[in-house]
Structure 1
């Protein structure tokens, strides 16, 4: 099985960190291809589109050389791109869909971005010190004790391939206006969510579960960056789901 991995707002493939080698080790018969959204990673000099559909088209063009069908594992904003993708391809092109702490227009704005997160996000946006800014992003998205090692890695990523404030705002605009179509794209999909997410309410994933009768699994205390907070839990949920348990 070939998996496309998509990250979230203003993050790139390097932000998967140790998650990528761990999931590759856990599923040695599968292939995993992390892909950067426009405006991030290898595309950091490009302007990010302001719609999820256009971001999705960019991703599709990037993976055109990879034989179909695909499965997609995606976090947050990447989950919106994955969901839009699954709704705009021929049946069978997307085999499996794993959406982590994502949201959509099926949920109210105060669940898609918790009101308590806005003051912290505004403070982060105003930070001039790049290391402190990345450390603050880490402290908001993860519920683990702050790791200086991870903070330094994130600082290095931003130094090498900076996501501009303009591109971050363009991604926010795309996310805010995203509403999926009404038709269920797959018979089943795996929704992974975090009860301790301080950015996105876990009920956004529940809304997708209720609408399309998909499989929902909720982590009791992880933060928004679930792949960082508990890789092993994701691997267990994915293995159980693929085994049909």
Structure 2
């Protein structure tokens, strides 16, 4: 049985996965583990590194796989980490899934999304609940006022340093896709993503000759908007690969 490690995205920690780890574990009948990136969640007292490679190495140094077999799933910035990880340490994981991820070199000028810039820039002028509500409106096509309150509480309980937020932004901006990866890869994305244009996922799938599955209307936070769909796509992919 293959276990799964999940990597979250920009400025998020493992609590932001919500119900998805349980959904994935139940659908696949596997163990699912989450971990915080440096500077966020349980690691919020630290400053995040400024490159995807250094963030990945930090997480890898805290990850304890034991003798088990593992697969890796990353969303958004976590997808960048996942691709970097399996390219540099292919022995660590058997399979990899990336969700709504990309790289600067894949984004065409007319596809630029400015929502993230306004979200980060407006943080100092908003209360925590208002900021998280704005984040949900940008990343989810099914935003919940109740969830915004929960996420605001997360920020109050473990607020990241501003230096860590800026470091993650720098890491995302400078990330370059690997030339090749040797592990099995599945690319998932949503046509309704208003943060990362889904055509970047098309280019990732083409580069690595990987299958691509597109959700018709979910937002950037695809596991939040339709976790069962994500789990089902992974289950079908595993069945085809076996």
TM-score range, shorter chain: over 0.9
Counterpart-to-counterpart distance in 1, 2:180 and 2:206: 13
Query: Does structure 2 retain, via aligned residues, the 8 Å contact 1:124–1:137?
Result: no
Cα deviation for residue 166 of structure 1 reads: 1.9
Contiguous gaps of at least 5 residues in structure 2: none
Cα deviation for residue 232 of structure 1 reads: 1.1
Cα gap change, 1:109/1:45 in structure 2, threshold over 3 Å: closer, same or farther?
Answer: farther
Counterpart-to-counterpart distance in 2, 1:118 and 1:104: 15
Q: Please, which of 195, 200, 207 is the counterpart of residue 199 of structure 1?
A: 195
Equivalence for 1:94? 93
Equivalence for 2:167? 170
Cα deviation for residue 205 of structure 1 reads: 0.8
Counterpart-to-counterpart distance in 1, 2:205 and 2:80: 15
Counterpart-to-counterpart distance in 2, 1:123 and 1:109: 23
- Higher helix proportion: 2
Contiguous gaps of at least 5 residues in structure 1: none
**Between 45-54 and 59-68, the greater mean CA deviation after superposition:** 59-68
Query: Does structure 1 retain, via aligned residues, the 8 Å contact 2:20–2:223?
Result: yes
Matched, 1:73 2:109: no
Cα deviation for residue 105 of structure 1 reads: 4.3
Query: Does structure 1 retain, via aligned residues, the 8 Å contact 2:6–2:32?
Result: yes
Question: Secondary structure at 1:74's aligned position in 2?
Answer: strand
Query: Does structure 2 retain, via aligned residues, the 8 Å contact 1:197–1:224?
Result: yes
Q: How many aligned positions are there?
A: 240
Matched, 1:9 2:10: yes
Counterpart-to-counterpart distance in 2, 1:53 and 1:147: 34
Q: Deviations over 1:203-222 (max 9, x none)?
A: 11111111111010010011
Question: Secondary structure at 2:34's aligned position in 1?
Answer: strand
TM-score for both structures, normalised by structure 2: 0.93
Cα RMSD for the two superposed structures? 1.8
